Structure 1
Amino acid sequence: MKQHRNVLISAIATVTVILAVLISSFLVLKDSNGGNEQQADLSSMTSEYAAFSGGTWTYGGGLPEGEDSIALIRGPYISLPAGTYTAHVSYSSTETDAIKLFSAAAPDSIVSSNVRLEPYLNGFDFDFELKEDISDLEFALIYTGGEVTLDGITVRMNNNNARRIVMTVDLLLTAGLIIFLLRGIISKDIKGALVILGTALLISVPLVFPELSHGHDLNFHAVRIEGIAQELEYGQFPVRMSSLWMGGYGYPVSIYYGDILLYFPAILRIFGFSINASYKIYLLAVNIMTSAVSYVCFKKIFSDFRITVITTLLYCTAAFRFVDCYVRTTAGEIAALGILPLIALAVYRIYRDDPGNSGYMTNSILLAAGMSGLILTHLITTELVVFILVITVLIMFRKTFRKKTLLCLVTAVFWSVLFTLSFTVPFFHYSSSVETYIQAWMKYDSGRNIQQVGASLYELIRFWGNWFGMGNDSSTRMSLTPGPLLLAGIILAIALMIIRKGNRKIYMLTGLSLLTLFLSSNLFPWDLLEALPMGETLVAIQFPWRYLGISIILLTLLAGEASDVLFRNNAKAAIPVTVAVTAAAVAISAVFTIHYRSEAYRSHFYDTHSLVIGNLEDAEYLMTGTDKSTLTYEPVIDSGTVEMTGREGTYMRIRTVTDKRASVSVPVFAYPNYEITGGGEITKGENNMITFEVPEGDNITEIRYKAPAFYRIAEAVSAISVAAAAVYCVRRSKISREGSV
Structure 2
Amino acid sequence: MKRTASIKKNKTFLIILVFLLLSTISLLFTHIGKPVMYRGDDIYFHLSRIEGISEGIKNGLFFQKINYFFLHGMGYASPIFYSDLFLYPAGILRCLGISISNTYIIFLWSINFLTYLLAYQCFRYYKKIDYQAFLFAVLYGGASYRLSDLTERAAIGELLSFMFIPLAFIGLWSIFFEEKQKYYILSIGMACLIFTHVLSAFIFSIFIFFYLIMNLTTLMKNKKRLFALLKAVGLTVLLCLGFLLPIVEQTFDQSFNFQVNQVAKMSDFTHTIPEYIKIALVNSGVNNLGILIFLLFMLLLVRFNALLTDSKKLFLITFLFLVSSTSLIPYRLLEDTFINSVQFPWRFFVIVTFGVCWLFADNIDRLFKRQTLNKMLLFGSITLATGLLILHGLFISDTSRYVSREEVEAIPQNFLGWGMEYLPFKTDYFEVIEEPRRILNSDNVSLQNVSFEYGGIDLYYSTKKSNEEAKIILPYIYYKGYKATVDGEPLEVNNSSVVPGLCEVNVTDSGNLKMKYHWTTLQIVSFILSLLSWLTLVISLGYKKIKKKTA
Task: Report the TM-score when normalising by structure 1.
Answer: 0.68
Of 317, 321, 324, the match for 1:512: 317
> Tell me, which stretches of 5 or more residues in structure 2 are unaligned?
1-5
Question: For residue 371 of structure 2, what is the aligned residue in structure 1?
Answer: 571
Distance 1:629 1:598, change over 3 A: closer
Percent sequence identity over matched residues?
21
Alignment of 1:556-635 (within 5 A): 556-566=357-367, 569-596=369-396, 599=399, 601-605=401-405, 610-616=410-416, 617-631=418-432, 632=435, 633-635=437-439
Determine if contact 2:90/2:103 at 8 Å carries over to the other structure. yes
Amino acid at match of 1:451: S
Question: For residue 336 of structure 1, what is the aligned residue in structure 2?
Answer: 161
Distance 1:184 1:268, change over 3 A: farther
Amino acid at match of 2:391: V
Separation (CA, whole Å) in 1 of partners of 2:321 and 2:106: 32
Separation (CA, whole Å) in 2 of partners of 1:590 and 1:201: 10
**CA displacement 1:615-658 (0-9 Å, x = unmatched):** 43422121112112223431122124224622122121122233
Of 446, 450, 459, the match for 2:266: 450
Separation (CA, whole Å) in 1 of partners of 2:280 and 2:296: 18
Given the alignment of the two structures, is residue 208 of structure 1 paired with residue 32 of structure 2, yes or no?
Answer: yes
Question: For residue 525 of structure 2, what is the aligned residue in structure 1?
Answer: 713
Given the alignment of the two structures, is residue 668 of structure 1 paired with residue 476 of structure 2, yes or no?
Answer: yes
Of 52, 66, 76, the match for 1:251: 76
SS in 2 for 1:420: helix
CA RMSD of aligned residues (A): 2.5
Given the alignment of the two structures, is residue 382 of structure 1 paired with residue 194 of structure 2, yes or no?
Answer: no
Given the alignment of the two structures, is residue 394 of structure 1 paired with residue 213 of structure 2, yes or no?
Answer: yes
Of 495, 501, 509, the match for 2:302: 495
Separation (CA, whole Å) in 2 of partners of 1:230 and 1:437: 26
Amino acid at match of 1:630: E
Question: For residue 516 of structure 2, what is the aligned residue in structure 1?
Answer: 704
Report the structure, 1 or 2, having the larger strand content: 1
Amino acid at match of 2:327: N
Residue 404 of structure 1, CA deviation:
1.8
Amino acid at match of 1:391: F
Given the alignment of the two structures, is residue 678 of structure 1 paired with residue 486 of structure 2, yes or no?
Answer: yes
Distance 1:217 1:269, change over 3 A: same
Question: For residue 351 of structure 2, what is the aligned residue in structure 1?
Answer: 550
* Structure showing greater Rg: 1
Of 371, 393, 417, the match for 2:237: 417
Determine if contact 2:283/2:291 at 8 Å carries over to the other structure. no
Separation (CA, whole Å) in 1 of partners of 2:297 and 2:495: 56
Question: For residue 722 of structure 1, what is the aligned residue in structure 2?
Answer: 534
Question: For residue 98 of structure 2, what is the aligned residue in structure 1?
Answer: 273
Question: For residue 456 of structure 2, what is the aligned residue in structure 1?
Answer: 651
Amino acid at match of 1:554: G
Of 238, 249, 263, the match for 1:429: 249
Residue 188 of structure 1, CA deviation:
7.7
Alignment of 1:210-359 (within 5 A): 210-353=35-178
SS in 1 for 2:170: helix
Question: For residue 168 of structure 1, what is the aligned residue in structure 2?
Answer: none
Distance 1:709 1:526, change over 3 A: same
Given the alignment of the two structures, is residue 461 of structure 1 paired with residue 284 of structure 2, yes or no?
Answer: no
Number of aligned residue pairs: give it: 530
Question: For residue 695 of structure 1, what is the aligned residue in structure 2?
Answer: 508
Determine if contact 1:642/1:655 at 8 Å carries over to the other structure. yes
SS in 1 for 2:515: strand
Separation (CA, whole Å) in 2 of partners of 1:463 and 1:669: 41
Report the structure, 1 or 2, having the larger helix content: 2
Separation (CA, whole Å) in 2 of partners of 1:366 and 1:665: 48
**CA displacement 1:507-564 (0-9 Å, x = unmatched):** 212211111111111221111233xxxx521111111111111110011112123313
Instruction: Tell me which of the two structures has the higher relative contact order, counting C-alpha pairs closer than 8 angstroms and 6 or more residues apart.
Output: 2
Separation (CA, whole Å) in 1 of partners of 2:495 and 2:148: 42
Determine if contact 1:306/1:574 at 8 Å carries over to the other structure. no
Separation (CA, whole Å) in 2 of partners of 1:519 and 1:597: 26
Distance 1:517 1:368, change over 3 A: same
Given the alignment of the two structures, is residue 194 of structure 1 paired with residue 17 of structure 2, yes or no?
Answer: yes
Separation (CA, whole Å) in 2 of partners of 1:724 and 1:629: 47
Amino acid at match of 1:621: Y
Question: For residue 189 of structure 2, what is the aligned residue in structure 1?
Answer: 370
Residue 597 of structure 1, CA deviation:
9.0
Separation (CA, whole Å) in 2 of partners of 1:225 and 1:479: 23
Of 295, 306, 330, the match for 1:525: 330
Task: Report the TM-score when normalising by structure 2.
Answer: 0.90
Distance 1:494 1:226, change over 3 A: same
**Deviation >6 Å, runs of 4+:** none
Separation (CA, whole Å) in 1 of partners of 2:546 and 2:47: 43
> Tell me, which stretches of 5 or more residues in structure 1 are unaligned?
1-182, 469-477
Separation (CA, whole Å) in 1 of partners of 2:370 and 2:125: 22
Determine if contact 2:148/2:288 at 8 Å carries over to the other structure. no
Separation (CA, whole Å) in 2 of partners of 1:460 and 1:341: 25
